[in-house]
A and B are shown apart, each in its own frame.
Chain A
Amino acid sequence: MTTASTGLGGARLRLRREPMFPLWSIAGVAAVVAILATYPLYGTEYVMNLLGMFVCFSIFALSISLIWGFAGILSLGQAIYFGMGAYFIALSLKLSYAAENPTRYGGTIPDYMEWNGLEEVPTIMAPLMHLEVAIVCLLFFPTLLAFIFGVITFKRHIYGVYCAVITLAEALILQEFIIEYQAYTGGFNGITDYETYNNMYFLWIILGVAVVLFGATRLLTHSRIGTVLKSVRDNDVRAEFNGYEVANYRIFVFCFASMMAAVAGGLYAAWMGIVSHLDTGPILSIEGVIWAAVGGRSTVIGPFVGTFLVKGAEFFLSQQLAWAWQLVMGLLFIFVVKFMPDGIIGTMGKSIANRRMRSAYAETGGAYGAETLSIADRLRAVFAGGNASFMDYLFGRDGRRG
């Protein structure tokens, strides 16, 4: 059947193919990486420490963007996986440090284990002493946990608000668990005093891993599976009736993002030299959500920009504004939700795309009518009471259903 000639007709098809890695993005990434990688040569150690930390956090924010911005799953427990990764590496480094540096009392087990009355390293933890084992664990166990949580949640068609609440609870449980079993985890104080990897070469490794993961995310979100994930985000009912088993896609992206968060956590632990229950809890998870939202949750570069801006502002402003910092964060989030739901990069990207479309359609005499709201328009809409709701922003159009 030659449908083309007998249908409703209309203008000819014009389609621009966006390259996977546009030249300007490669140049931009190269420039940023070059600046960060050479910073230790001329900068201060304090700022270098911050930069390495920010890059780790930006990978974490990327993992949140991937599940929230691209697949519509709001997890308030993504720090579970970041924390697990961090604890695997911190434990490993701590064990090998303890073996070579006997404590005051002559023991060769981590100091906190000694304080808590352990005689020797528990047998299941002993293999972690080898960094290779810890890295394999870091890649495997957080992903496995994400898979189990994912199957429990998504196979039973739980998403939206309920999914956010469940993941939040999971993060709280893990945090309690870590505090409770302090003989194994260091409890409230966390794990510290071990050989850290805090130098220019490790900064390069962090940057290398970040580039690979950001590139992989770009590949994932701009290929067929990325389009399917976005379609599930936009309208999971349509996707289900279009033959896609939505739960499997959600589980897949959840596992992938969790593995990414674990890698970020592992790098963070090696770089910072301290890991505590705060790195697994809801607060870090929610901060990650804010970083992703500010930068642009449905973009790949957004989380990086958001993390650097928000976290950077936190470090440089919280000294002056220590008493009000949390308030500033809250106001920032409200501002983004209300006036810039696509975040900084997302808003820029959209306005560029719209301008290009408008001029392309103007050439052929057609009009491009996609709705674009300027910030001023959004402000007006808020006062007119016609703005999209907060719930829609967080969970998408369909996300409020149970």
Chain B
Amino acid sequence: MSENILEITGLVTRVSGYTILDDLHFSVQENELRVLLGPNGAGKTTLIDMISGRYKPTGGKIHFRGRDITGLPPHKIFKRGICRKFQVPNMYETLRVFDNVMISLAGHRLVVQSLFHKHTAADHERVVEILEFIGLAGKAEYPADALSHGERQWLEMGMLIAADPKMLLLDEPTTGMTEADKQKTAGLIQRIAERHTVLLVEHDMHVVRRLARYVTVLHQGNILAEGSLEDVVANEQVRQVYLGQGKFGGA
């Protein structure tokens, strides 16, 4: 097996007295597609926030590719190779779809570089390729705020692909999609996972079943179970946690 690309030890997050993450130990291997499950309030998004540098953890360490990234600002964590998607699609609303992806292409993040870099034919080609991949090539000239909800989700994933990070953090990319769109998205994630390490937060069991190889279940800020999807679903504790919500009922 390959090395652990992400290594979290003893992560603690307290927000105004409430413990969101409690002494969490968690690791992800290189080129793995890891699915993060858990009921509402389990701390899934908080964990993504901590890894991507949105907030600083109260305690504990996060190592990425062997280097300590605990508490670094988001742009530095990006530089180390982590890029995240937000639960609510987050993009540059008035820019064209094309520019949204162009701006996200890897490299040229410094002011001086932005000032003097001229987009090459290769850059252009790459953006076209990504737009075709996410199915938005026909809407390249649309301003991003003219897209439908599903298209916005795909655009943000396209921006992540363009950034070409080592690891992608995807926070509920199928929220608010129709069943058909969810399957499309699952297909996208599968393709992305061929080349990148992916940490995926997902609620929809159809999508999870299609994608998951290895699953981590969070509950009340800590890991409740970890293993293959079958093992986790069979786990008595997991069943109890989810019982009231009926999440696994039909699955």
Q: Is B52 positioned at the interface, with any CB of A under 8 Å from its CB?
A: yes
A117 to B178, CA, bound (A): 80
- Known A-B contacts A228-B103, A230-B92; A241 and B135 likewise in contact (beta carbons under 8 Å): no
- In this assembly, does A402 line the interface, its C-beta being within 8 Å of a C-beta of chain B? no
Q: A4 — which chain B residues lie within 8 A by C-beta? A: 128-129, 132-133
- Judge if A319 is at the interface, Cβ distance under 8 Å: no
Q: Give the contacts of A224-255 with B (CB-CB under 8 A).
A: 224-225, 227-228, 230-231, 233-235, 237-246, 248-249, 252
| Stretch in B2-10, B107-115, B198-206 with 4+ CB within 8 Å of A | B107-115
Decide yes or no whether A6 CB sits under 8 A from chain B: yes
Size bracket, chain A contacts: 35 or more
**Chain A residues whose C-beta falls within 8 Å of the C-beta of B109 in the assembled complex:** 243-245
Q: Bound state CA distance, A9 and B53, in angstroms?
A: 34
Given contacts A224-B114, A238-B90, contact A231 B140 (CB under 8 A): no
Which of A224, A240, A243 is B119 in contact with, Cβ under 8 Å? A224
In chain A, what residue has the closest Cβ to B54? A241
Q: A238 to B140, Cβ gap below 8 A?
A: no
- Given the interface pairs A16-B141, A225-B115, the reply to whether A6 lies near B90 with Cβ below 8 Å is no
In the complex the two chains form, what is the Cα distance from A365 to B75 in whole Å?
42
Residues of B within 8 A of A371 (CB): 145-146
CB neighbours of B128 from chain A (8 A)? 4, 13
State whether the Cβ of A370 lies closer than 8 Å to any Cβ in chain B.
yes
B126-155 Cβ-contact flags toward A at 8 Å (1 or 0): 001111111111111111011000000010
B108 touches A224 (CB 8 A): yes
List B contacts of A397 (CB < 8 A).
Answer: 93
Which of B117, B118, B136 is the one whose CB lies under 8 Å from A10?
B136
Q: Is the CB of B163 within 8 A of A243?
A: yes
The 8 Å CB contact of A228, one of B52, B83, B114, B195, is B114
Return chain B residues, CB-CB under 8 Å to A113. Answer: none
B95 on the A face (CB < 8 A) = yes
Q: When chains A and B are docked, how far (Å) is the Cα of A79 from the Cα of B220?
A: 53
8 Å CB contact of B131 from A13, A227, A241: A13
Q: Is the CB of B103 within 8 A of A242?
A: yes
B115–A13 touching, CB < 8 Å: no
In Å, the complex CA distance between A139 and B73 comes to 33
Q: Please, which residues of chain B bring their CB within 8 A of the CB of A231? A: 92, 95, 99-100, 103
Indicate whether B188 reaches chain A with its CB closer than 8 angstroms: yes
Chain A's nearest CB lies how many Å from the CB of B82? Answer: 9
B142 and A370 form a contact (CB under 8 A): yes
User: Are the C-beta atoms of A235 and B142 separated by less than 8 Å?
Assistant: no
- CA A227 – CA B131 in complex, angstroms? 18
- B73 — which chain A residues lie within 8 A by C-beta? 240, 245
Min CB gap A98→B, angstroms: 42
Contact of B142 among A227, A244, A248, A368 (CB under 8 A): A368
Closest-by-CB residue of A relative to B169 is: A241
Q: Tell whether A156 is near chain B: CB-to-CB under 8 Å.
A: no
A7 CB–B CB distance under 8 Å: yes
A235 & B92 in contact (Cβ 8 Å cutoff): yes
B91 in contact with A235 (CB, 8 Å) = yes
B137 touches A12 (CB 8 A): yes
Residue of B nearest to A239 (CB): B92
Contact B111 A252 (CB under 8 A): yes
How far does the alpha carbon of A10 sit from the alpha carbon of B163 in the complex, in Å?
22
Q: Does A357 contact B (CB under 8 A)?
A: yes
Chain A residues contacting B110 (CB-CB under 8 Å) are: 245, 248
Give chain B nearest CB distance to A327 CB in angstroms.
Answer: 32
Q: Which residues of chain A are near B95, meaning CB under 8 Å? A: 227, 230-231, 234
In the complex, which residues of chain B have a beta carbon less than 8 angstroms from the beta carbon of A368? 142, 146
| Complex CA–CA separation, A245 to B163 (angstroms) | 15
B163 near A242 (CB under 8 angstroms)?
yes
The 8 A CB mask of B178-195 against A (1 = contact, 0 = none) is: 000000100110010011
A235–B93 touching, CB < 8 Å: yes
List, sorted by A's number, 23 A–B pairs whose CB atoms are closer than 8 Å. A1-B194, A1-B195, A7-B191, A8-B134, A8-B154, A10-B137, A11-B139, A12-B138, A15-B98, A16-B141, A230-B92, A231-B103, A235-B92, A239-B92, A240-B74, A241-B75, A241-B78, A243-B78, A243-B79, A243-B83, A246-B75, A252-B111, A252-B115
Question: What is B's interface to A at a CB cutoff of 8 Å?
Answer: 52-54, 73-75, 78-79, 83-84, 86, 90-95, 98-100, 102-104, 108-111, 114-115, 117-119, 128-143, 145-146, 154, 159, 163, 184, 187-188, 191, 194-195
- Kindly list the 3 A-B residue pairs having the minimum CB-CB distance in the complex, ordered from nearest: A11-B138, A8-B135, A7-B133
